[in-house]
A and B are shown apart, each in its own frame.
Chain A
Amino acid sequence: MSLFELQRQLRDHLLSEEKAIADRIRGEPQKGLAVYHHAYRAQLVDCLRDTYEKVAAWLGDDGFETSARRYIETHPPRSWTLGDYGANFVDALAVLYPDDPEVAELAWLDWALRRAFDGADAEPVDAAQLDDVDWDRAVFTFVPTLRLNAVVTNCAALWSAMAENQMPPLAERLAEAANIRVWRRDLTSHFKTISPREARALRLGVEGMSFGEICQIAIDETDEAQAVAAASELLGAWLSDGLVCRIR
C-alpha cells in the first residue's frame, strides 16, 4: 500500500473509526489506534476550551464538552495552526443553542478578543498631530484588529463578570439591539458596547466612506447641529480609543 493510501486510512480512522487501517498494523492494532483516536479529540477539546474560556465557564464542563465534541465531529481541522481551529464555533453554538443567544454572543467576544490578542500591530494616530486634516474629505484606516458585532443580549456584562470572577447576572435580552466593538491597543485587547449610531458610522468608515459623507448621512436624518456634535463625539472616541491608525 502506498504511503498516501495508508495516511488516508489513518485519517479516516481518526475521523470516523474506519477500520481498514487495522489491517496495516502489527500486533494488536486497536490498542495503538485508540491512543491516536483519543488524543486527536482531546487536543481539539482543549483548544476550544482555551479559546472559548468564557463560553466554557458559562456552559459548565459537561455542556461545553458536549458542544465541543459535536463541533469536532463536523469540523476536521484544516489549518496548520490550532489557533484557527474554532473559527466556526460561534456559528455552531448559535445552532446548538437557538433559544440562548447569549451563548453564541459570548463566543463571538471570546473569539474576537483572542484574534485581537495576536493580530497585526498598528500604531494609532496621535490625536495631537491632526491640525492639517481636511475632515470633510478624511478617510480612516482602522486598526486591523477592529471587529464589530450586533448583539441582542447582555453578553458583555456576562463576559465582564466572569473575567472578574464574579457571579454573572442572569442572561437577558436587551431592550434594544446593541453593538460591541473589539480592538487591540498596544498589547491590550478591549471591547466596548456602542450605540447603534456609532456602529453604523463605524461600518461606513470601515467601508471607506469619508468623515464628511458619514456626517452628511446623519445631517439628513436629524438637525445639523445635533448631527455634527454627535459625529465630533464619535471621532473623539475613535481617536482616544486608538481605533484609527491612518487618516488620508
Chain B
Amino acid sequence: MELAWSEADAAFRDEVRSFLEEKLTPELRRAGRLATSVYSDHEASMEWQRILHERGWAAPAWPVEYGGCDWTQTQHYIFSRESILAGAPNLSPMGIRMVAHAIVAYGTEEQKSYFLPRILTGEVFFCQGYSEPEAGSDLASLTMAAVDDGDDLIVTGSKIWTTHATEANWMFALVRTSKTGRKQQGITFLLIDMTSPGIEIRPLVMTSGEEVQNQVFFDGVRVPKKNVLGKIDDGWTVAKYLLVFERGGAAAAPALQVMAERIAEAAAEQPGPSGGRLIDDPAFSAKLAEARIRTEVLEILEYRTLAALSAGRNPGPASSMLKILGTELSQTITQLTLEAAGPRGRVYQPHITAPGGPVADYVPPADGYVSGEEWQAVAPLRYFNDRAGSIYAGSNEIQRNILAKAALGL
C-alpha cells in the first residue's frame, strides 16, 4: 500500500499541466469554470474532445487497442484533477464513458470498427434513451415498442430526460421487443440514428431555465437489426453492464475537491454572518471542513473501487455506493457555494455562465452588467441543476435498495 506519488507520477503531472497550459484557450477555460452542471457547453466540450483526441487522451479509460491509455489509477486521478484545476470543460459522458464500454464488450466487429473511432473524433455523438414517462425508477417496465419487420425493427414510443438530444446524431436506447416472461426479458439494446425519419424532439425547461433535457418521440422509426447491441431480447444484460460505468465508472472526488477548495478561496473574500470574513465563521468553516473530509475519504473509496475494475473484477454494488456518496457530497458542496455567494446568489444572470444548453425566456442586459462575481452567478444555477444528481442514473432511493440486497443480503 502506498499513497505517495512516485517521481514518475510527478513527471506525468508536469506533462499534463504543460499540455493543458498550452491547449486550453480562454474560451474553453471559461466553459469549464462557468459550467452550471455536469454538462458543459456542447461546442466547447466537443472542441476540447477534438484537442484531447489529437493527443490520444480523449478516452483514457478505454482499452488501449481502441484508443485508451495505459495509465495507472494514480495517473487517471492526476489527469482528472489537473484538467479540472485548469478549467477544462467536461466531455459528454454518454459516448466515451458509457455506451463505448458496452460496444467494446458486446459489439460486433462491424459495430466496434464503425462506432469506436467515430466516438473518439466526435463524429458520432450519442444521447441516452432509457427513461420513459412511465418508466423511471422502474426502468424495466419500459414500453417503447420495436416491432420485427424483416431486416429492421420499427420503433414507436417516447423517451424522456434525454440529455443533449438535439445535439446528438445517435441514441443508445432500450426498447421492448417482447412482452412475454419477466419484464427484464424482452428488452433490446438498440443504436438509433437520430436523423431517421419519424423522430421528434421536445425540449424541457429545467428550474435553472436551461434546455438540456428533452422528450423524444418515435413514430414508426425504422432501425436496421445490425444496430442491435448484444442479442435481441437480451438488452437488459447490456444495460446492467453499462450501469456500472454510468454510476461509478469515473472518479468524482477530484472535481469535488477542487469545488471545495474554491469555496475556501471565495469565503476568504466574503462577509461572514456575524461580521468578519465568512471563512472565519465557526459554523461555516466547520461545515466546509466536514465536506472536504468527505471528499478525501471518497477519493480513497473511489480508487479502491476503480482498482477492482481495472483488475478485471466487477465492482458490483460499490458503484451504487459511489453514486450515492458522490452525488450527495456534490449537493452539499453546491449548497455551500450558494451559501457563500450571499445576497448575490439570488441574482439570476445566466448570461455570464456557461450553461449546458440554451436558456429559455431570458433577455441578457444590454450592457452585459454582472452583479458580483462570475462564481456567484453560477452558484444558484449549479445548485438547482445539481439536485438532479440524486435523481438521475437510478435515484438514490433505488441505489439504496440495490445496496440493501446486494451488499447486505437483505
Q: Do the two chains bind?
A: no
